[in-house]
Amino acid sequence: MTDNARTINVAIIGGGMFFDDIIGQSFKDFMRGGIAGALTSIGMSHLASAVADVEIRVCAVGTRSEKSGTAGKIVEWFAEEFPDHKIDACYGDAVWQDMLATHKPDVLFVATPDHVHTQPILDALDAGCDVITEKPLCLTTSEADQIIAKAREVGRVVAVDMHKRYDPFVREMMLKAPEQYGPINRVRTVLEEPLEVSSEIFAWVEESNPFTYVGCHWLDVVHHYMDVQPVAVYATGQKNLLLNWDEHHQEIARRRGVDPSSFKRQHAIKTWDSIDVAVTYDNGMRGDYNNNWINPAEFEGAVNQEIELYGIYGRGLVDQQDRGYREAIIGDGSRTRNPSFGGRIQHHGGHLEIFGYGKASIAAGLLAIIRRRILGESLDELDESYPTAASQREVIRVIEAAAVVAEKNYEHMEAGRGTPTTALLTDSEIQIIEP
């Protein structure tokens, strides 16, 4: 921890898919110019003068495998712009523990795989750190309850990078929905990740599923803006492509005209292709969440994402592919771009910076930490100003229930019994109901 009372030291673990594009570049921007310039994107610019002089420093980056050298590469990347700023590269299976003890950061940023969030968060809180974590917060309700209780016990912030709630298109629709659309009967969402996520990029996909990985974004948006409580969950899923990857990757290679041996994985990948979840809420509204991570690389966008509200007086739809920015480039095909997430700008004589809701979500967490640590505000005063751990409890309950229900329904389907399983979410438990 720094001696300067107006400095926030950040340690980062993990070097995930969006590190260079969003996480790392956001921290470069914060190190160079502070956080004040990002506050308009989260509707908090009235605090800009109070936090304008707060210095943000990255003090260490940690990843698991020293052989891969990921942490060292990230440190070198930071050094290109900040050659006089010392950032340590750290490695180990529980790398955060050494980082917490040695560097004593103010903030631990957790960008590890889905199933490796809980212990780093709890250890950071025990060490007196605030936390910003990638989504989902964790995978089970019991883990969420541990995190929420520990954060409250030690009086620290746990912010979750739920960036879709800061998407200006989504935010506009969700805020106007009650007045313009009236009571909402149904919400329909889609978020589909490219095939390379599950087959090439992430080694840990067998520990998660596409609904857990990205469905949590739309759950957060619905729960945050509509103030609803889930009461029942139904889920089914498909295991056709990835579970039989040893066969199907050869056909994909043939269709693309590439050598099958060039694929990173050659054998079965024991996870879901897609999961479809139906949630019934306490006001009778239905939410349909459709997620996969097998979208072909040839698809025109980085992801396919939609959210649609069906009200009694009107309806609204936000579809990334309809935002109006398409390109057709020789060798790259026709593509849809989404600068609202992580656009780039570099004025003459200036540095590269990013803008968009990917950065906004991180800024919201950092601002909450600054307000707690430096401005002395209480956790209660900060509530609702950022995606809190507590706000994710119902998200995690749906994720946990859906994983169980989908697996049971898959087993029933394979045995010729249809898909009869559902889950009831009571105040105290997730009750699995099946014949």
Distance CA 209, CA 296 (A): 17
- Tell the burial category of 185 from Cβ atoms under 10 Å away from its Cβ (0-12, 13-18, 19+): middle
Residue 420 confidence (pLDDT): 98
Give tens-digit pLDDT for 245-273: 999 999 999 999 999 999 999 999 999 99
Q: Which domains does the chain have, with CATH numbers?
A: 7-163+342-388 (3.40.50.720), 165-340 (3.30.360.10)
Beta pairing, strands 304-311 & 430-433: unpaired
119 is written with which tokens?
A: 């212990």
305 is written with which tokens?
A: 């994402």
SS (HEC) of 60-125: EEEECCCCCCHHHHHHHHHHCCCCCCCCEEEECCCHHHHHHHHHCCCEEEECCCHHHCHHHHHHHH
Distance CA 162, CA 233 (A): 21
Beta pairing, strands 7-13 & 55-63: parallel
Could you tell me how far CA 64 lies from the centroid of its own chain? 20
Tens-level pLDDT at each residue, the chain (435 residues): 444 689 999 999 998 777 889 999 999 999 999 999 999 999 999 999 999 999 999 999 999 999 889 999 999 999 999 999 999 999 999 999 999 999 999 999 999 999 999 999 999 999 999 999 999 999 999 999 999 999 999 999 999 999 999 999 999 999 999 999 999 999 999 999 999 999 999 999 999 999 999 999 999 999 999 999 999 999 999 999 999 999 999 999 999 999 999 999 999 999 999 999 999 999 999 999 999 999 999 999 999 999 999 999 999 999 998 888 999 999 888 999 999 999 999 988 888 999 999 999 999 999 999 999 999 999 999 999 999 999 999 999 999 999 999 999 999 999 999 999 999 999 889 999 998
Give tens-digit pLDDT for 307-365: 999 999 999 999 998 888 999 999 888 999 999 999 999 988 888 999 999 999 999 99
Distance CA 396, CA 430 (A): 11
Closest CA to 24 of 69, 97, 84, 87: 87
Distance CA 230, CA 393 (A): 11
Beta pairing, strands 88-91 & 55-63: parallel
Residue identified by tokens 């990002």 is 38
Cβ count near 419 (within 10 Å): 18
Residue 192 half-sphere exposure toward CB, CA atoms < 13 A: 20
Distance CA 360, CA 42 (A): 6
Distance CA 409, CA 238 (A): 10
**Cβ-contact 148, 395 below 8 angstroms:** no
Could you tell me how far CA 398 lies from the centroid of its own chain? 16
First to last CA, the chain: 56
Reported as type and span, the H/E element at residue 279 is strand 274-281
Residue 38 confidence (pLDDT): 97
